[in-house]
Structure 1
Amino acid sequence: MQIESTPEAETGLAPTPTFDDLPYRRADFGTVGDALDYAAQGLKGFNFHDARADLVRAYPYAELARDARTQALRLIAEGVAPGDRVALIAETGADFAAAFFAAIYAGALPVPLPLPTSFGGREAYVEQIAVQLRSAEPKMVLSSQGLFAMVEQAAEGLCAARDWTSFFAAPAPVVELPQAAAGDIAYLQYSSGSTRFPHGVAVTHEALLANLAGHAHCMEAGDGDRVVSWLPWYHDMGLVGCMLAPLANQISVDYLATEDFARRPLSWLTLISRNAHNTLSYSPTFGYDICARRISPSINVAERFDLSRWRVAGNGADMIRPEVMQAFVDVFAAAGFKASAFLPSYGLAEATLAVSIMPLGEGIVSDLIDERTLAGLSGGRTDSRRPTRYRAIVNCGKAVPGLTIEVRDETGAVLPDRKIGRVFVKGIGVMAGYFRDPEATAAALSADGWLDTGDMGYLAKGSIFIVGRAKDMIIINGKNHWPQDIEWAIEQLPGFKAGDIAAFAITTPSGEEAPAVLVQCRTSDPAERSNLREAIRTKVRAITGMSCVVELVPPRTLPRTSSGKLSRSKARSQYLSGEIQPFDVAA
C-alpha cells in the first residue's frame, strides 16, 4: 500500500498522540468545563488538516483550555454574564473551539451558527443568521474575518459583531470565572434547517455528558481509539458526536473541514488510512455514497487506502440506505474495509445526539416491510395481479443507556412490536426545552418528560426502525406514501443520484391531492426531457401505483439544509410560491 505523504514529513508538524498516560474517564464529569480541564492534563487534542489531508495545526486540549480561559476573561470584560448567549459561526478550527469553551468557562451559552452553503447566495445566508440571532438574542456574535462582512450585516441592530482576530487581541483582565452546575444549560443547538421559525435546543451539562457517556459505552470507546471527522460543527452529529464526545472521553481527533470534504471527499479516507490505530468516524449515507462514486477504474483502491483499522464506521443524521452502504463495501473491501464496521444509529438534537445505536460488529441489518404496512393498510391484498413489494428498513439499534423509546399511535397508546407509529423518547439526555419558546416546548415535550421526535417507526425486540419523518408523509386517499420510496424509485433510472429528487404532496387545479416530484435535469434536449418525464411517471406508477406530477428543474435547484440534507418542505414551498421555476413542458 502506498499512502500519500504524511503531514509530519512535509510540514514538520506532529499530530497529538493517540495514547498518553492520563487515566481514561468515560465522560463522568459534572460539567463540560470539567471535562476539558481533565483532558487538558494529557497530551491528546484536536488536529486540523487541509483539503489534501495534510496537518495544518495540532491543538492539544491543554492549549485549548488555556486559550479558552483567556478568551473567557475577554468575554467577561465585554460584559458577557452567566446565562448570556454568545453566537459563533462554526468554522472547523481552533478559533471556534476556543470561543466555544470560552463561553462555557464564562458561564455563557455558546450558540453555533452555520456556514454559508452553495445554495441561496449572500442574502439568504444573511437572513438565516439574522433569524437565528433574533431567536437567541446573543450578547455578541463572533466569526472569521472572511465571513465578517455578512455576519456584521446580519447582526445589525441585534447584537455586537466581532471577528476572531480583533476579539482575541482585546484586553483580558483577570477576574474569577463562574462555576457552572450540572443542571445549567450548556449550549443552544439550532437545527441545520432553521429558517423562519428556528428552535434553539437547550441542552444541560448533565444531559450532554450522560449522552456522551452512553454513546461512548455503546462504541466501547477508549484508549487506542482516534476519531476522524469532516462533519460540520453547527450540526449535532459534528458538534456533539465528533467534537464534544472525543474531548469528554479524552480521544484525539483529526479534522477535515466540511467544505474541503465536499471538494475532495477521498481525503477523509486518506486521513483514516494514515491512522495506525483504531478509527471511529461517522457520516450520513451521502458521505459514503460520494466516496464510492469518486473511485474511478484508474484508482487502485488497495494501494491508495488502508481501511482495515476503521473500527466504527458510524451511520446517522439521515435515512440509512442499505444499497449505498453495500456499494461502499463493494468498492472499499479491497482496502480492508469490513462491512461489520458499520454502526447504524438514530438520534436528534432534542435528545442531545444519540437515541439508539446498533451493537458493535453487526453492521447493516435490514428488515423487509410490505408496502401495504408502510402505507397504513391492513387486510389481504386487493389486487393479486400486483406483486408484493417491500422496502428495506435499517435496524438502528437499542436505546443508549439512560434513554427509553416508545412507539405510539395517534391516540397516544403505546404500540406493540412491529406496529408503525410515532417515536417518543424519555431520559436524561432529552433537552430541557426550546430556548424561550414555551409553546414549541409544550408541543414537543410532555410534562412527564416524553419527547415527541416527529419521526415514524416501529420497535422489534427492543430495536428501533425509522421509516420517515411524520411531516414528510404524503397521504392520498387515506393511504400513506413515503417520499423516500418515490425518490428511490426515480434514482434507479440512469443518470440520477441521491439528492436529485424531492417528492411531496400538492393540490392539483382540480382540487385533488397528488404527489409531485421535482427532478434535477441535466439534459437540454426537448425530446430527451419528454422521454425522461414519461420514464419517471412510469417508474413511480410501477413502484407506488400512483400517477404523479413531474417537474424537471435545473441542476443545483433543490434546497438543502446547512448540513447538506435535502429539505423537502422548503422545496415544496419554493415550488408553490414560484421561486423554483421548472423547465417548460414544451421545451
Structure 2
Amino acid sequence: MTTTDHLPSSGVRNVGQLLLAAAQRSPGADLYYFDSANGNTNGNGNGNGTRFRRSGYPELLDQSLRILNGLQELGLRPGDKVLLRIDDASSFLPSFWACQLGGFVPCPLPPPVGSIEQAAAHHHHVHQLLDEPLLVTSEQLAAEIPSAPGLSMATVESLSDCSPSHAFHDAAPDDLAVLMLTSGSTGQAKAVMLSHANLLASAAAQIQARRLTSADVVMNWIGFDHVSALLEFHLIPVCLGASQLHVPSSVILDDPIEFLRLISRHRVTTTFSPNFMLGLINSAAQQRIPDNELDLSRLRHVVSGGEAVPCATGTAFLENFAPYGLRSGALWPAFGMTETCAGILYSNEFPHVDSGQEFAGVGTPVASLDIRVADPQGNPVPDGHTGEVQLRGAMIASGYYRNEEASRSARTSDGWFRTGDLGRFANGRVRLVGRSKDTILVNGISYFSHEIETALEKLDEVASSYVAAFPARPEGSDTEQLVIAFHPQTPAGDDAALHGALTAVRDTVVSNWGFRPALILPLAREEFAKNSLGKISRAKLSTRLTSGDFDKEVHVTAELIRRSMGDYSPPQTENENSLVEIYGDILGVSPASVSATANFFDLGGTSLDLLRLRGSVSRRLGVPRLQTIDLLTAPTPRTLAARLDENSSARAKTNDDYDPLVPMQHTGTKTPLFCVHPGAGEVLVLLDLARHFAGDRPFYAIRARGFTDGETPFTSHQEMIATYTRAIQEKQPHGPYALAGYSSGGIIAFAIARELQSRGEQVSFLGGIDFPPALRPLLAGLDFSVTVSVLSHFLGFLNKEQSRELPEQLRGLPLRQQVQQVLDLAPSKRVADLDMDLEKFTVWMTLADSLKKIRAEYEPEGAVPSLTIFHGATPPPLPVFNGLPDSQARQEWLDCLHHWDKFSTGPARYVEVPGEHHTLTAPPHVATFQDLFRQEIDRNMGDGDGQHHEAPPGT
C-alpha cells in the first residue's frame, strides 16, 4: 500500500467526512483506550494488555452520533462553539467528532493548573471570549468546573444516552473546524482558528512527509488540548484508517520505560516524545531491562518536538535501545506550532546530519509549505544567516478568534506568518537557534515569563517592575531551566533579609508551578536594561548571564546562601557522604554544594520530596524500617546519619520513647503553634504550611502514636488527649496557647483546649481546618475502603477518578487485599520512590482506621472563648454527599461547619480558603491559606507585627 492511498482527496470537504469514511472503509482498525479500572499503570499487573479497552471506527462513529443528537436536542446549531473539558480519550474523541458532524466548533480546554483563582480566571476569560458557549465535561470533572454567570454545562454521560442522530452538517472547507488555545492555564489565552481546509491540508502534507499508511499503529500520550495530539496522532490515523493507542500522560511520566513497553507490546510504528522525556528514558535505562521485555523493531519514527533536542540526548536514546531493535534513524526532530496544525518541519536524517552540533536541526518543510528566514524588516537573509522563521501555506491558521490585534501582529505586511523563532537555512535544512517569544520550556511545558514575574512582584521582598524570568540551558542539560533575576526590596547589608527574599522567590515558584528555579539572582536596579516603554530585555539579561557578566553576583549569592545555612561542613562518614548525594539528587543541586549540616527543608524540600527521600535512603543505605518521623526530626545529613547509626544499635522502641510533638520549624519569637494531625495520624500534610512560619513562630505538629516499631496505637480518646496535652505543657508550661487541628484533628484540638482550660490555662487561638465538631454523623459510608482510597490519592497512588470509584470495588474484600489492590493500581515508580510496601501501607491504613473509631467516641461539650474555622471552596468527598448537586452539598457542609457556633462563647469566625479539603495546605493553595491562617493567629494572640491585612469577614 502506498502512502497516498488514503490521502484526503479533493472530494473531502470537511473533517467530519473522514470519520464517516473510516467507519465504512476501515472497520477492522483498532482504537485502544486506557482503562484505569482494569489493571495497574506499571505494566506489571496482568501482563496481557487488558488494561486497554479495544474499540474501532464504527463504534466511535456510533458514540459520536449519540452525543450529536444530545447536543442538537439542547438547541445547538452549526457554528456554535463548544468547550470540551474532558481528560479521558474515550470520552473526548466522540465529543469532538459529534461537533464535527454537527458543524459545531469545539475548543478543548487544558487541565487546570496553578491556584484555584488562576484556574477560575482562565475559565472565565475563555467563557467570555467564546460568547458563553456550552461546556461539555464528564461527571467526575463537573464538580471541579468553577461557576460563572451564564455557564451552561452538559456531561458526556448524559449526552451519550441519546439515540444516534442522522442529521449531519456539510461544512464548507473554509468554515471554522476547531479553536485551539495557545497560552497556559493562566493569563489571557488566544484561540487559534483552524479551518477544515487547514486541517486537511496539514494531514495530507504530514502523511506524505512521514510516509504513513493504513498499516501504521500510532500511540498518543499527550492531552487533546495540544494540536499535535488531535491532528498528528488522531485525525491522521482516522484519515488513513490506521490503528491508534491512547494512553494518559501520567502512565508514561510515572514510569518512562512504560513508554517503550507499550510500543513493544502494541507494535507501535510512530509516536511522539519531547526531549525531556528522552532524557527521562535515558536515565531510566540505567536500570537493567530484561532482554526479552522490549522489541522496538517495528518503531519507524519517534517525532520529537516542543523543545530543542540536544544531539547528545538524542544519540544516547538511539544507542541505549539499539539492542532492542530500535532503528538508527528512528528519532525525527521536528518543529510545529498550534498555528501551523502541528508538524511542518521534520528531520529524518538525525543524527548524522548534525555532526558537531550541540542541538539537532529540524530538517525540511512538508509539501505545500513556503518558508523563509527574514530580517526584522521582512527581507529574506542568505543561507547561513540568522533571522526569524516565517511561513506561508494552506495549513497556516488565519488568525486568533476575536483578537484582531494579535492576528495582525502575527503576519508581516506581505502576508507571511511570523513564528517568533530564530533560525537559519543550511543546505536546504532549517536549524533553529533561539526564540524571540518570552516563554520558558521546562520539561516540554511552556511557562510564560510575564506570569511568573507577576506572581513574584506581589512579594514584599521584590521591587515592583524589577524582576525578570528567562530561560537558560546549561551545557549537557536535557531541558531549559528557569532563571529569576530580581532587585531585592531589603535593607542594604541585611543578609538575613536577603536570604529570606531568595527563599520567598523560590517557594513562590515551587508553590505555583511545581519546580525549582535553577538560579535566583539578586541584582542592582541599573542592571535591568529597559526600553523607552519600561520593558525589561530578558534576552539581554540572558546573554549577559551566559557571557559571564554576572559571575560575581552568582558567586556572592551562593556565598550568602552558604553562610545563611551555616558554614559548609563536609561529610565525615560513609553515611553522611551517601546522604549528601541523595539530597542533591532529590533537590536537583550539586552534592558538592550540600553541607552535612544543611536542613533538607531549607534547601527547598517539600512534603512529597520528603517521601522520596525516605525511599531513597531506605534503598541505598539498606534501612527497611526508616520512619518519616526520623526525617522530620533529623533533617540534616549529619543528624540523620547519627539517627541511622543509633537505630542500628539501640534497643527496641516502646511507648515510653514516643513524643507526639514534631518540630517542623523552630524559628520565631512569637507563641508556638501546636497543630494536630488529620484523620490519618501522619503530619506530612502540614509540612508545606509549617515552612511559611519560618522566622515568625515555632510550629509543632502533633503526630499519632503507632507508626514506629514498638509503639502501640491509642486505645481511647481520653488516653490520646492526656498524652497530647502533657507533651504540649512540657514544651510550653503555661498559656496563652495557640492550637489548631486539620480535618478531624480540629475536634482533638478542641478537646485539648478544654483540658487546658480545666487546668486554669488560657487558649487564645483555636483553629479548625475544614471539619465540623461531630464525627459520628459523617461516618455513614466512611469505611476503611474510603480511608485507603482518599489517602492513596494524596500519595499519588490513585488519580481523583480512581479514588472516587475504588471504594465500591474494595468493599467486602479482606483488609490486606484492599491495600494490595491499591498498590497494584499505583505506578511502580511512585511506590518505589515512597518506599512503600504492603506491610507498611497496611500498618498506616489500619492506624488511620483505628484513629477514626477512637475519635468517634468523643462528643464535644463546653465552649472556648473563640474559634476560627477555615474551609475550602468545595466540600470534601464524603459518602454522605454522594449524589447531591454541588450547591446542595456545599450548603449542607457549611451548615455542618456552623455547628461550631455552639462551642464558642464569642462569635465563631468562618474563613473560606482556596482548594479542596485535601489540598488546602499543599501547593499552590498553601500560599494563600498560610497568609489567612497567620492573620487569624496574630489577631487572636495579639503578637502580630502589623504586616498582614485584616482577614475576610466570616461566612
TM-score range, shorter chain: 0.7 to 0.9
Secondary structure (helix, strand or coil) at the match of 1:180 reads: coil
Deviations 1:449-495 (A, max 9, x none): 31101111111122111122202499xxxxxxx966x4323x66xxx
Is the aligned partner of 1:334 residue 2:323? yes
Residue in structure 2 matched with residue 87 of structure 1 by the alignment = 83
- The CA deviation at 1:136 is 2.5
Q: Indicate which of 31, 46, 51 corresponds to 2:31.
A: 46
Q: Higher strand share goes to which structure?
A: 1
CA distance in 1, matches of 2:335, 2:373: 14
Change (3 A) 1:54 1:468: farther
Residue in structure 2 matched with residue 59 of structure 1 by the alignment = 55
- The CA deviation at 1:191 is 1.8
Is the aligned partner of 1:366 residue 2:361? no
Residue pair 1:90, 1:234 contacting (<8 A) in 2 also: no
Q: Indicate which of 158, 179, 194 corresponds to 1:166.
A: 158
Residue in structure 1 matched with residue 919 of structure 2 by the alignment = none
Is the aligned partner of 1:109 residue 2:101? no
Residue in structure 2 matched with residue 392 of structure 1 by the alignment = 358
Q: Higher helix share goes to which structure?
A: 2
- The CA deviation at 1:552 is 7.6
Letter of the aligned partner of 2:69 in structure 1?
A: L
Residue pair 1:343, 1:363 contacting (<8 A) in 2 also: no
Residue in structure 1 matched with residue 617 of structure 2 by the alignment = none
Q: Indicate which of 274, 277, 286 corresponds to 2:276.
A: 286
TM-score normalised according to structure 2 size: 0.47
- The CA deviation at 1:105 is 0.9
CA distance in 2, matches of 1:220, 1:174: 36
Residue pair 2:122, 2:189 contacting (<8 A) in 1 also: no
Q: Indicate which of 511, 525, 531 corresponds to 2:526.
A: 511
CA distance in 1, matches of 2:18, 2:219: 20
192-201 or 97-106, larger mean C-alpha shift: 192-201
Secondary structure (helix, strand or coil) at the match of 1:449 reads: coil
Deviations 1:347-374 (A, max 9, x none): 1011111221124x54463265xxxxxx
Deviations 1:190-232 (A, max 9, x none): 1252532211010111111111111110111003211112121
Residue in structure 1 matched with residue 436 of structure 2 by the alignment = 470
Letter of the aligned partner of 1:159 in structure 2?
A: L
CA distance in 2, matches of 1:528, 1:473: 36
Residue pair 1:312, 1:341 contacting (<8 A) in 2 also: yes
Residue in structure 1 matched with residue 240 of structure 2 by the alignment = 249
Change (3 A) 1:127 1:329: same
Residue pair 1:343, 1:364 contacting (<8 A) in 2 also: no
Change (3 A) 1:174 1:319: closer
Let me know the Cα RMSD of the aligned residues.
3.7
Residue pair 1:132, 1:194 contacting (<8 A) in 2 also: no
Deviations 1:507-526 (A, max 9, x none): 6333113457999x9xx965
Change (3 A) 1:448 1:298: same
Change (3 A) 1:175 1:339: closer
CA distance in 1, matches of 2:326, 2:566: 44
Residue pair 2:364, 2:428 contacting (<8 A) in 1 also: yes
Residue pair 1:104, 1:186 contacting (<8 A) in 2 also: yes
Secondary structure (helix, strand or coil) at the match of 1:304 reads: coil
Secondary structure (helix, strand or coil) at the match of 2:329 reads: helix
CA distance in 1, matches of 2:19, 2:250: 27
CA distance in 2, matches of 1:424, 1:526: 53
Letter of the aligned partner of 1:509 in structure 2?
A: A
Is the aligned partner of 1:99 residue 2:114? no
CA distance in 2, matches of 1:140, 1:364: 51
Q: Indicate which of 133, 136, 142 corresponds to 2:136.
A: 142
Residue in structure 1 matched with residue 374 of structure 2 by the alignment = 408
Residue in structure 1 matched with residue 219 of structure 2 by the alignment = 228
Residue in structure 1 matched with residue 6 of structure 2 by the alignment = 25
TM-score normalised according to structure 1 size: 0.74
More contact order relative to length (CA 8 Å, sep ≥ 6): 1
CA distance in 2, matches of 1:509, 1:105: 59
For the pair shown, which has the larger CA radius of gyration, 1 or 2?
A: 2
CA distance in 2, matches of 1:502, 1:458: 26
Unaligned runs of 5+ in 2: 36-40, 44-48, 441-468, 488-522, 529-540, 546-553, 571-579, 594-601, 610-926, 929-955
- The CA deviation at 1:259 is 2.0
Change (3 A) 1:84 1:459: same
- The CA deviation at 1:327 is 2.3
CA distance in 2, matches of 1:245, 1:447: 33
Residue pair 2:96, 2:106 contacting (<8 A) in 1 also: yes
Secondary structure (helix, strand or coil) at the match of 2:300 reads: strand
Change (3 A) 1:459 1:77: same
Residue pair 1:254, 1:271 contacting (<8 A) in 2 also: no
Change (3 A) 1:458 1:158: farther
Residue in structure 2 matched with residue 315 of structure 1 by the alignment = 304
CA distance in 2, matches of 1:289, 1:192: 25
Secondary structure (helix, strand or coil) at the match of 2:32 reads: strand
- The CA deviation at 1:40 is 0.7
- The CA deviation at 1:553 is 5.7
CA distance in 2, matches of 1:212, 1:411: 32
CA distance in 1, matches of 2:396, 2:603: 41
Residue pair 2:183, 2:189 contacting (<8 A) in 1 also: no
- The CA deviation at 1:241 is 1.2
- The CA deviation at 1:166 is 2.4
CA distance in 2, matches of 1:194, 1:528: 41
Deviations 1:544-566 (A, max 9, x none): xxxxxxx9866799xxxxxxxxx
Q: Indicate which of 295, 304, 312 corresponds to 1:306.
A: 295
- The CA deviation at 1:61 is 1.0
247-256 or 506-515, larger mean C-alpha shift: 506-515
Change (3 A) 1:264 1:230: same
Residue in structure 2 matched with residue 186 of structure 1 by the alignment = 177
Aligned length: 483
Secondary structure (helix, strand or coil) at the match of 1:176 reads: coil
Q: Indicate which of 71, 75, 79 corresponds to 1:75.
A: 71
Secondary structure (helix, strand or coil) at the match of 1:114 reads: coil
CA distance in 1, matches of 2:351, 2:130: 40
Secondary structure (helix, strand or coil) at the match of 1:343 reads: strand
- The CA deviation at 1:123 is 4.2
Residue in structure 2 matched with residue 570 of structure 1 by the alignment = none
- The CA deviation at 1:56 is 2.7
Change (3 A) 1:123 1:238: same
Secondary structure (helix, strand or coil) at the match of 1:419 reads: coil
Is the aligned partner of 1:157 residue 2:149? yes
